[in-house]
Amino acid sequence: MTTASGPDSVIAVTTGTGVGGRLRSPEAETEMTGVLGFGGYVPDRVMTNADWAEVVDTTDEWITTRTGIKERRFAADDEATLDLAAHAAERAMQDAGIGPADIGEIIVATDTPEVYTPDTASFLQHRLGCGNVPAYDLGGSGCAGFVQGLDVARARIAFAPRNVLVVGVELISRLISWKERETCVLFGDGAGAVVLGPDAGHAELLDVVAGTDGSMTGILTLSTGGTRDPFTIETAKSGAHQHLEMNGREVFKQAVTRMSAAVLEVLDRVDRSVADVALVVPHQANKRIIDAVTRRLGVDDGVTFVNVDYFGNTGSASVPLGLWQAREQGRVANGDLVILTAFGAGFHWAAAAIQF
């Protein structure tokens, strides 16, 4: 077995460690991606619209009518991204009936990492007590990161079967400005996770579609802190490092168009129609966006899952958190076809079809 660099190198390295479950050769490709476990976590601290009205010039009425958000959860002072991710991951592993030694790969989607480098996935691998399996972040993928992570995970499982932990986590409250009312009231903290694997679980991940329009990086960006505009004392003083530039109306328009189209595309790929869908779990950014997607797809209101009123926009955590909560609430039964759809800074979009 060679350890040369290239797409196969991580497989070569992990094969020798004997950790993280079974690994097979590409010839043994599997079509099955099971969803073995679901997990979610939100911090205890509730920040209501009335609380925000004491911090910035806003009202419960403005936030409610424009976004549908009534409250969101914020992490405690002693919590960081890793804590949120670990709680959700532990619940997903418990639901899957597996332990840390059974995890063969870890993908963490987040734009609000534990530290700048290394990635949150490395910290999570150690915290959970997994073996020295591949672990990496999908960073900067905005709110679409978790569903993109599902796409990567299923390809990895097809190539070399192993259990992949996919986490979406965001601790946005600590990294964005608390002075800019246009953005600060929209977000909340949380985490969601699934364990995917080559075996039948609670459900099967049938397919995932994903796309990016890189000409739209400017409509949603936090641009200070990279090599183009490094973090300095001046940027810190001006708050530029926390300034989320957002063209709200353009993001709104793109979100509706791209999420709806991605749902139809993934349905087409699995040879099913909108009429077959029991539940759509869309990215929870704004109730008006969710309603517009619901109308565009022509599904009943009850088919679309909504928790943006309680959690706000939790970025990459939003879809897995919704999926976990929907299942906890008994909204998903055996035989149900569930569709996930998300959009985010990039501009990225993705959708997944899950058969329970």
With CB under 6 A as the contact rule, which of the stretches 71-79, 180-188, 199-207, 301-309 interacts with ligand UT7?
A: 180-188
Is 286 assigned a catalytic role? no
Whether 283 is catalytic: yes
Q: Which of 24, 127, 181, 269 binds ligand UT7 (CB under 6 A)?
A: 181
What's the token pair of residue 117? Answer: 């480098």
Minimum CB separation of residue 143 from ligand UT7 in Å reads 4
For residue 109, the cross-strand partners are: 138, 168
Region of 18 please: left (phi>0), alpha (psi -120 to 50) or beta.
left
User: Is 202 in the active site?
Assistant: no
Question: Nearest CA to 96 among 88, 41, 11?
Answer: 88
Catalytic residue among 87, 241, 243, 283: 283
Q: Which is nearer to ligand UT7, 103 or 219 (CB)?
A: 219
Distance of CA 89 to the CA centre of its chain: 13
| Helix or strand run (H / E) with residue 269 | helix 248-269
Taking CB under 6 A as the binding criterion, the range among 55-63, 113-121, 225-233, 265-273 that sits at the site for ligand UT7 is: 55-63
Q: Which of residues 198-237 bind ligand UT7 (CB under 6 A)?
A: 220
Task: Give residue for tokens 């929870």.
Answer: 284
Residues contacting 336, CB < 8 A, separation 6+: 278, 279, 355, 356
Interhelix angle 248-269/287-297, nearest 10 degrees? 40
Judged by CB under 6 A, which of 145, 282, 322, 344 binds ligand UT7? Answer: 344
**CB of 130 closer than 8 Å to CB of 122:** no
Alpha-carbon distance of 299 to 280, in angstroms, equals 9
How many of the chain's residues bind ligand UT7 (CB under 6 A)?
20
**With respect to ligand UT7, which residue has the nearer C-beta, 185 or 323?**
185
Residue from 14, 67, 141, 307 in contact with ligand UT7 (CB under 6 A) = 67
196, 36 Cβ separation under 8 angstroms? yes
* By the rule CB under 6 A, 163 interacts with ligand UT7: no
Q: Which stretch binds ligand UT7 (CB under 6 A): 101-109, 153-161, 251-259, 296-304?
A: 251-259
Give residue for tokens 């000409």.
Answer: 215
Interatomic CA distance for residues 67 and 141, integer angstroms: 22
Q: CA-CA distance, 339 to 293, in Å (whole number)?
A: 13
Least distance in Å: CB of 60 to ligand UT7?
10
Instruction: Give the binding range for ligand UT7 (CB under 6 A) out of 17-25, 146-154, 247-255, 328-336.
Output: 247-255
**Under the criterion CB under 6 A, does residue 253 sit at the interface with ligand UT7?**
no
Interface contacts to ligand UT7, rule CB under 6 A: 58, 62-63, 66-67, 143, 181-182, 185, 220, 246, 248-249, 251-252, 255, 285-286, 313, 344
